[in-house]
A and B are shown apart, each in its own frame.
Chain A
Amino acid sequence: MRRRAALAAAALAAPLALAGCSSSGSASGTAQASPPRLSVSGAYIPLPSLPDMAAGYLVVRNDGGRAATLTGVTSPQAQSVSMHQSTASTMLDTPTVQIPAHGTVAFARGGRHLMLMGLSPAPKLGARIELNLRFDDAAPVTVQATVQPLTYQPGQSS
């Protein structure tokens, strides 16, 4: 069933791109595919070891029948937030991130991550940092990321 959803998404990808440009309404010509339904979970920020920069991790899930495009993240507590993809020896800026229909995209250690600059006040263990995720074709999503220990890994006891 996963496979069928993926095939459907692939077949719809081209018309959707056009529809996304021409209309923000709900009925845009692709009647069968439901609009993106986005949720964000597991947001955390490892307590940074230097005060001026932190990483952020989370999982974006799309339960809708159409892909969504994450176009940026902001935080009232950060001067800037950028989306990156780590490679073997550096990292690349990713201005947008596609969230597939019926799919998830994980921002996780060693891969996609948020880089938060100029956090104020300086993050403390257990503090909550608001993240606002903006999408091209869906309503923004706001989550509270929890500041975790520096070496925290989800699902792994330290």
Chain B
Amino acid sequence: MTSSSFPTRPTRRSVLLGSVGGAAALLLAACGSSSSGAASADGSQLTPSTQAQQGPYQGTPLGRTFDKPAVTLTDTSGKPFDLAAGTRGKAMLLYFGYTHCPDVCPTTMGDIAVAVSKLPKDQQSKIDVVFVSTDPARDTPSGIRTWLAAFNPSFIGLTGDIQTIIAAAKSVGVYVAAPVKGQEPVHGAQTLAFLPTDDKAHVLYTSGTTSAVFQHDLPLLIKGVAA
């Protein structure tokens, strides 16, 4: 009830521990510092400054690729969903978040949803947008379905055991922690983009990425353009 009951952001050490390797740790650390500076002042500053790399994408090319997490979770109809098999051969955006998240999670999903809605109809089915709950104790399959339906009814929502989800996030360099009673849950600091050609993550989008950036990049992802 007081500020002391809220978590401080993950410490640099916990971020490092939560990542899978040197490259990922650097990415996470970079995300933390850039978004804390740019988020409150002018979110639009974040995009160009972190995405000055050359290359076809406006998102950040990953220093290494990641396989899709080898995990089976529960989809919004309550059925098991094998993440790698269920999205094989399709472009995929992967985000870890929670539905009782007022700001960043709905903004991220909203920016992606707006970009997807602007794709030609025949392209829209060529990308899977996957939302994995970081607060599975509260996020029931039907609750996630209701929440996602407001963005795009075809978005895939997954929930399951929190330790399984933490491991899945860690396997792609995303920091997630188990919710602590009385503290705000954690959401992923980045969205990962997987290509349809090799089913690997090649591009990363930090919180605060605008819809325009997703609009620019989605057609490239769908085509399987290398980062």
Contact = CB atoms under 8 A, between A and B. Distances in A.
A22 interface: no
Interface stretch (B54-62, B76-84, B108-116): B108-116
Interface stretch (A6-14, A46-54, A134-142): A46-54
Contacts of A112: 40
Contacts of B41: 106, 111
Nearest to B114: A151
Given A86-B207, A151-B113, A46 B106 contact: yes
Contact of B150 (A109, A113, A150): A150
B48 interface: no
A150 B3 contact: no
B111 A89 contact: no
A106 B208 CA distance: 15
A81 to B, nearest CB: 11
B102 to A, nearest CB: 4
Contacts of B2: 93, 95
B156 to A, nearest CB: 16
Interface residues of B, number: 46
Interface string B4-19: 0111111000000000
Q: Report, as a range, how many residues of chain A touch the other chain.
A: 35 or more
B184 A90 contact: yes
Nearest to A51: B146
Interface in A114-158: 114-116, 150-151, 153, 156, 158
B99 interface: yes
A110 interface: yes
Interface centre among A48, A90, A91, A116 (most CB of B within 10 A): A90
Contacts of B188: 89
Contact of A92 (B9, B99, B113): B9
Interface stretch (B28-36, B67-75, B120-128): B28-36
Given A87-B9, A90-B184, A151-B111, A55 B43 contact: no
Given A110-B39, A111-B43, A49 B146 contact: yes
A113 B40 CA distance: 10
Interface centre among A88, A109, A158 (most CB of B within 10 A): A88
Interface of B: 2-3, 5-10, 31-32, 35-36, 39-41, 43, 99-100, 102-104, 106-107, 110-111, 113-114, 143, 146-151, 175, 184-189, 206-208, 210-211
